[in-house]
A and B are shown apart, each in its own frame.
Chain A
């Protein structure tokens, strides 16, 4: 089998893993002011993702690194084309990461409120930008013969890529609410579940619209299947949430986002970054890929590395499997 195709699939999976994992921790950050009514509740929320958010974030770094190694022209073309959206993502991720670590290090309301704002902003903006970038690579933009963007700095910002941006934001909120319902206890848990049930249809609508749009525009016969999976999984998630089965609902949302990634990247194949101008300039799995030797090396590394990652990240979730509630939160202890 052609290793370039394998790597296209691997990269799609890295993105799916990223959207699944950081999707919920973005959601937790987005909902901080909505669900967290006092500082202790907000600390409960932050601590549900405390041990894992950084590991989740590495998925985007590895997705980017894998694109660089396996499809340099894709990496170069996409990230220079979607320059400003990516910059917003980076700035937001910088603030957000620091905010988690620094928020509890000074014991004043003002300090916490400031970092809470950074967490909220840093959790809304990245899914917006990531959604826009992923839909840009799926829907394409005008390229010249060198694989560079033709047009202005805002070429990647259109109604259809904005739909993609909203799709990932909407998914992240619901996913985060379901995660909080699964990982917290008491009042917060019920509030999170009720919110998830209430907003799910609206919040997932853009994602459903996106997969349908992409299916209509560039889909293959087989990609109808993952599109159907997304709809079914969304429906199941809603139903299980309404029944109070948080774990099943969370898993269904996971199926929905992985299904969406399969649908989007499946429709994209064999392109990696289609040119909406001259189709001859499209970057494809074959013209953007690295040499067979490089792909072979990377395949070996991924064949051992990726399963190991799943094992030890899975272990982390096991170690921190207990629900957290307000009485678990220790008193603030910082230097005077």
Chain B
């Protein structure tokens, strides 16, 4: 789909403004070191609504960073403050070490791919892509070269003469991407850019975005409410809720070791059980559930015996052992009464009830061509101690209401 000389061309050109290039940049970078975007205690209020609540964020140079969260959690507002379309009520925004809190959008070296693409209907594709370069008075010849390269990069070579009305949604999305990237901004902001595409195209564009990001080496800040998309595409994810960041880390980390109940629920299904910490044993922590069953968890020296904890495990980490199996030495096990089994081809999804009356679910590979148990049977749910994550019980009410997707 992509011809290599052009790709190399772009990378080569990128070298001219690569942050590692010494010319005069080191001084400006110094204050924030590795971080290209820094938000410091940023608050944004709309009347009574606190859209962004004392947000601190550091985004590293060259990373694919995602902000993930339910609708209304403040993702767009945060992005707009970085882009210069919204002024923070409090706090500071720095770009490449420079305070840009009061700098208008048109003077920031940041470009945005808007959710609705925002292509100019009165200009053709070429003029759309050339728009930013022309505002910077780039010579016509270079405009032509760079626009052509940018259209190549998004696999739209030869589409220059078309108008917005002659493009599909996916193509408009690519034009919007080319129009932003052609300016070689320090940071590219993307606000749910794939939201309007159908599933297949969406998956394809996720991979392509990732490829393009690697190729041009520009920092991408990507907003989405789709956890799978965020995990597929990102180097790091900030999971947001109610204007705050609940957890920030690489996809595996936020998925496997969610720090809050909200993160655990938002990134996928999870089974949560309440218990009390009973000290450590053989390098693992011991948690006693209400039923008296003991669960082993990755240990943490900061825990105190007697402390209440909530432990969790993802459904796909659970193996369902047939009825009659006893507890095993190396695995965590709890008893569960099978309520229902849902056949999904490659797997079964089981729903259980534990002795404490909690619901638990498990995904199990369809290895034997049938469900492991019949509804009503008591089986054992087993999982490895290291697959258990721990959530502190601070304010049990705070995250009670789990928010769905948009």
Question: Is B a genuine binding partner of A?
Answer: no
Q: Could you list which residues of chain B lie within 8 angstroms of chain A, going by C-beta atoms?
A: none
Q: Could you list which residues of chain A lie within 8 angstroms of chain B, going by C-beta atoms?
A: none
